[in-house]
Amino acid sequence: MSDDKFIMFTNRLEKVYRHLGKQAKRLGVSCYRLYDHDLPEFPFCIEVYEQNIYVAEYRRRHGMSEEEHDDWVEKSIELICKILKVKKENIYLKLRQRKPGRLGQYQKTGERKAEFIVEENGLRFIVNLSDYLDTGLFLDHRVTREKVKVEAKDKKVLNLFSYTGSFSVNGAAGKASEVVTVDLSKTYLDWAQRNMQLNGYADPAKYKFIHADVLQYLNTVSKNSFDLIILDPPTFSNSKRMEDILDIQRDHVTLINDCLLILSQGGKIYFSTNYKKFILDAKSIQSGSINDITKQTTPFDFEGKINRVCYLIEK
């Protein structure tokens, strides 16, 4: 790749780092997205997690030989280190479509610690920058998490498709009377429990963790059981442990209506999806109050490039 292209990448990265870094500092945010495929020649997602940098390369047909690609990545990493003023050992690179080759030093090894504790809105979370497809903290929901924290006081909170439980932690921090965390993945449910314990929320009478298929679980819950529900399902899931296949466009009405059944009068559902072609079938949802809050829940580092929608649905 020509030096001109690397100069373009340098200029772009310097510009966004100067701009977003300043905003992050002013807002007291230590984990944020810096760059997301801004230039087609450099298809990276770059996220800052305090002193560590997560770099993921998007799949594409790059037309380079393996050696050329390795050299291109090497040079890109050097530029990222220089601009962000970090050492190479603080860079966690994810080459999603390739096996570790010469770039093995950027992959997780037995000696490297992949887990770190980071802070957001005064709460602590475990992130893992090398072992999984995602880091453990979806940065685009930073504002939504804060909303849940503000809303949760004395409420019974249900976090469905909970992932690593960051919404559960915010519910507990907002003084919820009960927080129930549900996920089909034992790995993520354990992670959620560790996140809760890390923040001092360990009372099993108040904080429950349920290993279940959400679609099946909803049928077991009594009416009016919860005051606040977080519903952030995957776009599609056909896990062997699920009885049904989940397709969010097809199934969102059933999911939301099932949640409305177990919601108390005056209760709220925060529903979101990152399916790019998603269309909400509002007419079929049994609620008189559905508000698109995508814009007001979009953090500063995702402005103009958010790839999810978020709705507040009330009963």
Burial of 87 (0-12, 13-18, 19+ CB in 10 A): exposed
Residue-wise pLDDT tens digits, 74-95 = 999 999 999 999 999 999 998 6
Q: In the numeric block, which tokens belong to residue 68?
A: 């050329």
Report the 10 Å Cβ neighbour count for 1. Answer: 16
Q: If pLDDT is split at 50, 70 and 90, which confidence band does 111 have?
A: very low
* DSSP notation for 296-308: GG--GGGTT----
Question: Which residue in this structure is represented by tokens 């829940």?
Answer: 297
Q: What is the CA radius of gyration of the chain?
A: 21
Q: In the numeric block, which tokens belong to residue 2?
A: 């020509």
Burial of 43 (0-12, 13-18, 19+ CB in 10 A): middle
Q: Which residues contact 270 (CB under 8 A, 6 or more apart)?
A: 144, 147, 148, 228, 229, 230, 231, 232, 310, 311, 312
Is the pLDDT at 104 greater than 50, yes or no? Answer: no
The whole-chain average pLDDT of the chain stands at 91
Confidence (pTM): 0.92
| Residue predicted with more confidence, 97 or 72 | 72
> What single-letter DSSP state applies at residue 88?
G
- Segment 12-35 shows an average pLDDT of 97
Instruction: Estimate the crossing angle of helix 166-173 against helix 186-198, to 10 degrees.
Output: 30
| Residue predicted with more confidence, 1 or 305 | 305
Q: In the numeric block, which tokens belong to residue 25?
A: 């500092």
Is the pLDDT at 66 greater than 50, yes or no? Answer: yes
* Angle, CA 301 vertex, CA 295 and CA 306 arms, to 5°: 45
